Structure 1
């Protein structure tokens, strides 16, 4: 570790430019922004703790690429980390207290002498810190106290997994501070999921945490849900000539709980009718053979959602092949097919009870108008409201960006890169 003053001077004098470019895939303007961001965080740390020895850590947000609503059916997903992240300046403490200062919200100190679930912490950041530490301790890893000053530009509520980035950041810090960076990124992701499920008290799958922790494009097969297969794909998206654009349609998520819950419930109803727990355990051929009886028993929407699941699992495999082959044209075609399936069969682009309020549908329709023949677009994440994702060529990105900003307001569209590095120690 180095003193805060040394780290600031090194960053300002360009000694870490290559490292920052590697992480953020940025041009000169973007590099200057990151350097300013890091120096400002170091200044905040120095104000609180003085010119101590410290290190800097990072964990990115993520984007779901394909596999929409498949993880809860033990299906397959394709995700990617992005060049928005949570970063923290960190130094060890002599006691067992973790103190995290974060811009924008208060986090109370967490005493690691108490690792049991604290019911009053449910839904709070303290529960995630305690849960990550408790799980690592139970797995025989070393834990200990630290001071951290952090900031994040992972957009909250955008489907880019700001909470998973925070959890992975905590696990990454403990890995480097107390375990020589030896904890496997997938294990850090599983630890983060454990903390969210059992301490934060929020059900979630493993996709978000895995994408944030492992980095780059990853494919996950959840068929053995206790031991998912995580594959990092060797593909440099920055060389394709495409950008990843996320647009927040600023739809209202209120009153959508039942819509979200109905998706897994209806898929599981089909699986139960076929004698299984989830759809990925069912035979697709037997499903189609049983369609007349399944329609009578369950109605049509569960059937359509099951059709999406079976096709989406196969699409993830095809997308893996396209990335392995470096075939960006096949990749774009498959993303469009995935988006069509979400809209037509999964039916998660607007709420049925609110047919006259369809911002996601409008965003997809305008994307279709702008990008037909030269890009891909799809609903992003859970759907019904919120965000869409588009893969846009370099020469079209300004036009697309301006159109989305005009439609949904300033600050609604984000031009992102697929970051190849997951949770990491940036500088020490």
Structure 2
């Protein structure tokens, strides 16, 4: 782990270039260096300098085939996209999760000692934070407070699952900060299921599991929902670029 000043230095020195190239493409490295550095700057303005921090990200997703078949025990072909939510995170000792998102004035402020759905939070992002925390606890994990600043270029209301990316990112943060990044107890599918639970029970939207699974697992995947409690996820060997295909996303408003 590094403090905010050290992390910005590491990014400037290219220590994250390989990760940026893998996530966003080699031609996007300089852009992502600036994006992440700017986000750390915003974190410092809100929460102070020299805080020990970690970086987290979760992508948006699109279905390639099988739209809504997850509601009918069907099979989906889905893929993550190179638009994502990024978070700079530092744990606190207050049992309060604070999430400030770039471009939004309000801050979500959730006391994780209270993991009961709050009617006033329904259909708001605070409900997703509380719901993910509840899902982690129900699965035998630990939760605690953290201060977080996020940015997202997953277009809202576009069908790219900005809410699922948010849920998956919060789940990954709680796994990393309070559960030793336990990938056995909280694998990617489990994080996806916790995100769905938060959206169904706390947010109040009866979504399926395809969105969260595609965001959590990443890449181009197949998902068989014959048993919704135990979806069978497969990583495909399809190289879309090799066959001349590219996913084009148009912001039509």
Output the TM-score relative to the length of structure 2. 0.94
Matches within 5 A, 1:242-391: 242-250=245-253
Partner of 2:172: 172
Whether the 8 Å CA contact 1:144–1:178 is kept in 2: the answer is yes
Query: C-alpha distance in 1, partners of 2:252/2:10?
Result: 40
- Does structure 2 retain, via aligned residues, the 8 Å contact 1:186–1:213? yes
Question: Shift of the alpha carbon at 1:242?
Answer: 2.5
Q: Determine helix, strand or coil for the equivalent of 1:108.
A: strand
**Mapped partners of 2:149, 2:174: distance in 1:** 15
Bigger mean CA deviation after superposition, 232-241 or 196-205: 232-241
Q: Which has the higher helix share?
A: 1
- Alignment partner of 2:197 out of 179, 190, 194: 194
What CA distance in whole angstroms lies between the structure 1 residues aligned with 2:241 and 2:146?
35
Aligned to 1:410: none
Q: Contact 1:108–1:126 at 8 Å: present in 2 too?
A: yes
Indicate the residue corresponding to 1:63 in structure 2: 62
Residue 42 to residue 248, structure 1, CA distance change in 2 (3 Å):
closer
CA contact (8 A) 1:189 1:213 kept: yes
1: distance between equivalents of 2:225 and 2:215?
A: 17
Q: 1:39 aligns with which of 37, 40, 45?
A: 37
Partner of 1:11: 11
| Residues 88-127 of structure 1 aligned to structure 2 (within 5 Å) | 88-105=87-104, 106-127=106-127
1:153-172 correspondence runs (5 A): 153-172=153-172
Instruction: Describe the superposition over 1:56-81 as per-residue Cα deviations: whole angstroms up to 9, x where unpaired.
Output: 00000001100023222211111000
1:332-375 CA distances to partner (integer Å, 9 max, x unpaired)?
xxxxxxxxxxxxxxxxxxxxxxxxxxxxxxxxxxxxxxxxxxxx
Q: Distance in 2 between matches of 1:24 and 1:192?
A: 24
* Per-residue deviation, 1:248: 4.3
Q: TM-score, normalised by structure 1?
A: 0.56
CA distance in 2, matches of 1:107, 1:213: 24
**Structure index of larger Rg:** 1
Contact between 2:5 and 2:49, CA under 8 Å: does it hold in 1?
no
Q: CA deviation at 1:195?
A: 0.1
RMSD across aligned positions (CA): 1.3
The structure 1 segments of at least 4 consecutive aligned residues displaced by more than 4 Å after TM superposition are none
Give the match for residue 74 of structure 2.
Answer: 75
In the alignment, the residues of structure 2 paired with residue 61 and residue 180 of structure 1 have an alpha-carbon distance, to the nearest angstrom, of 25
CA displacement, residues 129-174 of structure 1 (integer Å, 9 cap, x when unaligned): 0000001101111111111010000001111010100000000011
Query: 2:135 maps to which residue?
Result: 135
1:24 Cα offset (Å): 1.3
Q: Is the 8 A contact 2:11 2:33 kept in 1?
A: yes
Unmatched runs of 5 consecutive residues or more in structure 1: 251-428
Residue deviations 1:152-205 (CA, integer Å, cap 9, x gap): 000011110101000000000111111122220000000000000000001100
Q: How far apart, in 1, do the equivalents of 2:230 and 2:94 lie? A: 35
- Structure 1 position 31, deviation (Å): 1.2
CA distance in 1 between counterparts of 2:75 and 2:20 reads: 32
User: Within 2, Cα distance between the matches of 1:24 and 1:249?
Assistant: 22
Residue 249 (structure 1) shift? 4.4
Residues 16 and 226 (structure 1), Cα distance of their counterparts in 2 relative to 1, 3 Å cut = closer
Count, aligned residues:
248
Aligned equivalent of 1:222, options 225, 232, 240: 225
The alpha-carbon deviation at position 26 of structure 1 amounts to 3.4
Contact 1:107 1:126 (8 Å CA) reproduced = no
C-alpha distance in structure 2 between counterparts of 1:181 and 1:225, whole Å: 25
- 2:208 matches 1:205: yes
